Chain A
Amino acid sequence: MSEAVTHRPDAPARAGASGPPAGSRRRRSPIAPAPATPWLFLAPFLVLFGTFVLLPAGFGVWISLHDWDYTFPTHPFVGLSNYQALFDPSSTAGGPFWESMRATGIFTVLSVPLLLVVPLGVALMMNARFPGRNFLRAVYFAPYVLGVAVISVLWRYLLDTNIGLVNHYLGVLGLPDSTAWLTSQPAAWASLVGVTVWWTLGFNAVIYLAALQDISAELYEAAKMDGAGAWQRFRHVTLPGLRPVLMFVTVNTIIMSANMFGQSYLMTDGGPGRSTRTAIMRIAETGLSSFQMGSAAAMSYLLTVVLMALSALVFWLFRDRDAVRPRKKVRS
């Protein structure tokens, strides 16, 4: 494209030069960058990404194929046997691993819907105009800035069966006040999910809020003109407008929930029994306490594969069904 549109101001100065400069080196358009330019811009990120993500991830595959205890002088190659052991429920690695995957699954199934819906409600509320709106926005986001250790220890004491404030106030209100929030099921899941929703809803709400503000007011106006009610406006204007963001929030929330570790580590210590021992907890224990890095790496990759499959499913579910065909036409 460049040659056709180049009208160089210096052209008249070159005697006899009419049309494209024959024989001279190919000139780049002033707007087309040198081939290295994008890479140079990307370099700072790529160096970090390569060093701290790609390289370790690749090295992890290598580790997962070995009996890798870094305090031992040798790391014998064991092929796929770390993976095989995980698929053998009678092995010491397999049974506990799937138990922990199940715990992670339960937590994800319970927390993701709440973390998709509750923040949306909060965001819709925050999007309305009312006095003190900015203050409330800050209040909802506030827990998210606290660390997992802070919120976990805080709630561990609040939720304590015998000395906790939660049971105390339930008693004051005349409600059952002896629920073992952290040491019995299903109360322990309720606690972990509840605390996590309280802690992280601000993040999703902020993203929703930004997306809501992007939806053009004219669309609502037009819908109103056509006689759409509040629910219809939500269903046919708000939700479609949120679709791309909704997809991001869903994938992100699933991954965050599947990586849950700190809350159950600090609040329930994996209990009662092993019921809240999540996959990440199991992986950390295998790798960092038992020093079986090979097995831990294999577990990590299995968890990764599951998460990738889930993400793919979400992408497929959220695909823009109406827009697929027309868009293809435009592109071709």
Chain B
Amino acid sequence: MTTTYRTRGTRLTAAVAALGVLALGACSGGDAAQQQPAAFSDTYDGPAVTIDYWNGFTGGDGPFMQGLVDQFNAEHENITVKSNTVEWAEFYQKLPAAVTAGEGPDVGVMHVEQLSTNAARSVIDPVDPLLDGIGLTADDFTPAIWDAIEYDGQRYGVPLDVHSLAMYYNTEHFEKAGITEAPTDADSFADALDKLQAAGYEHPFWMPARWPAHLMFLSGQWQGGGEPYATDGSAAQFDSAEGVASLEWMRSIVDDGYSPADVAQDAQYVAFKNGATSITFDGIWQINDLEDSGLPYAAAPVPAVLGEQAVWASSHQFFLAHQNDPDEDKVAASQVFVAWMSEHSGDWAQAGMIPARESVRSSGVLDGTVQQPIADAIDTMRFLPPVPGLGTIQSETLEVAVADGVLGTRPPETALTEESARATSLMEENLARFGG
């Protein structure tokens, strides 16, 4: 699958590649981090420079990003932006090694939940002057995203877009079942499932055990009013009552026969594309893939089955890579590039994303797009707290608990309690490592 997140197949190559860079990284040792933000200027009139721009847009979003880069290059005589696109999983292993070895990019894009980890490791530099220079303030973003880019009192990312989980449904199936409106809450969702079954769709909602199951779980816990992690990074709380309720709901979809048991990796998405299932939750970056498939489908916000409207989201963020030996011209040119991209983030909506800036969103770029109904629910989007190293811990613990809960190998409460305790001790270790 060629999408932003579905990059399992290449993690192996990523590991191998990272091993290669490792020797370099390990030897250079890395000097003391000097995280002084660079000053901002919105024009660059120095000598011609080439800046390295790293990102992970390997899916349907890749051509759109390259189009923007080409346009930037055409408009700027003395700046050439050279893209280097690698799978995200590989990206996050490669970047720290490359930056530590002094072989990193000048500028790049990463996910918002990765900012704190890389900031704590001095892989990226703060961007406060850049944000001020472009004129980006809290007013242009939802509070959730503005809080998520801050680590240790400084901001590390320039938001490009937000992308959340969405509910995709087969419009043909809905029509046959007599459902006229997309379900929005627990009752209408349950009602829709029953109608679909009555219309002959035996398994209308395949419940995945793997990706994006943990994102569905998080959305559910947030809907119930819970928080999966203490925001100061001191403890995991995904075994709270709201967390247990979330996983029990997921399991009940299987127990109640709306989903077959043992849905393996990616099967639910393949089934949706084949018309074997009627509803699936997946990221909005799948839109282009679904468009290409010719399936009769529509997208809607993830229904609030467990309480208030809330949904997991992430965001692509421009970052400035830390330079052991900064070149002023390149730093200046990189900032011009980021500022320009932020201005043009409306064009990025064609890649299925939602521009992060309120001013861009309200300019009409989303009118008539598939993701428009989801963009309208932007205030309900939630991000993981900026805790360094959280992503790795989550995949080691929460994802295992959710998978076991859905598969029925462990009762939801047991799985969550055990894995949450494990996550807490890992988080405590990280807190000590990163100096709190």
The interface of chain A, by Cβ under 8 A from chain B, is 56, 59, 63, 68-73, 75, 92, 96, 148-149, 153, 156, 159-163, 178, 180-184, 261-262, 265-266, 269-274, 284-285, 287-291, 293
Contacts and interface: CB of A to CB of B under 8 A. Distances in A.
B410 to A, nearest CB: 7
Given A73-B32, A180-B407, 13 more contacts: A72-B30, A160-B264, A161-B263, A161-B267, A163-B270, A184-B409, A265-B11, A266-B9, A269-B210, A271-B403, A272-B409, A288-B93, A291-B121
A184 B30 contact: no
Select the residue from A70, A72, A184 with max chain B CB neighbours within 10 A.
Answer: A70
Interface string B246-287: 000000000000001111110100110010100000000000
Interface stretch (B12-20, B68-76, B138-146, B377-385): B12-20
A149 B425 CA distance: 34
Interface string B412-427: 0000000000100110
A290 B389 contact: yes
16 contacts: A59-B26, A69-B121, A70-B22, A70-B100, A71-B122, A153-B9, A156-B265, A162-B267, A163-B271, A182-B264, A183-B407, A266-B12, A270-B400, A271-B209, A273-B400, A289-B93
Contact of A71 (B23, B100, B396): B100
Contacts of A149: 9-10, 12-13
A73 B29 CA distance: 6
B404 interface: yes
B33 interface: yes
Contact of A272 (B25, B403, B425): B403
B277 to A, nearest CB: 10
Given A71-B96, A288-B18, A163 B26 contact: no
B260 A162 contact: yes
Interface of B: 8-13, 15, 18-19, 22-23, 25-26, 29-33, 93, 96-97, 99-100, 121-123, 206, 209-210, 260-265, 267, 270-271, 274, 276, 389, 392, 395-396, 400, 403-404, 407, 409-410, 422, 425-426, 429, 433
B12 A148 contact: yes
Given A184-B407, A272-B404, A272-B409, A70 B260 contact: no
B262 A183 contact: yes
A162 B26 contact: no
A266 B25 contact: no
A162 B263 contact: yes
A273 B8 CA distance: 18
A112 B211 CA distance: 32
Contacts of B261: 161, 178, 180
Given A183-B407, A284-B15, A293-B26, A160 B422 contact: no
Nearest to B406: A183
Contacts of A272: 403-404, 407, 409
Contacts of A261: 12
B121 A72 contact: yes
Contacts of B96: 70-71, 291
Contacts of B396: 96, 285
A150 B290 CA distance: 25
B119 to A, nearest CB: 11
Given A156-B264, A184-B407, A290-B392, A70 B12 contact: no
B379 to A, nearest CB: 33
The 5 closest A-B pairs by CB, nearest first: A180-B262, A71-B121, A161-B262, A70-B25, A183-B262
Contacts of B262: 161-162, 178, 180, 183-184
A180 B100 contact: no
Contacts of A69: 121, 433
Given A92-B426, A149-B9, A180 B264 contact: yes
A288 B395 CA distance: 14
A17 B274 CA distance: 97
Contacts of B407: 180, 183-184, 271-272
Select the residue from A148, A156, A293 with max chain B CB neighbours within 10 A.
Answer: A156
Contacts of A290: 389, 392
A163 B9 CA distance: 19
A71 B270 CA distance: 39
A269 B19 CA distance: 20
B389 to A, nearest CB: 7
A148 B260 CA distance: 29
A56 B24 CA distance: 12
A92 B422 CA distance: 8
B105 to A, nearest CB: 16
Nearest to A289: B392
Contacts of B29: 70, 73, 75
Contacts of B12: 148-149, 261-262, 265-266
A183 B30 contact: no
Contacts of A265: 11-12
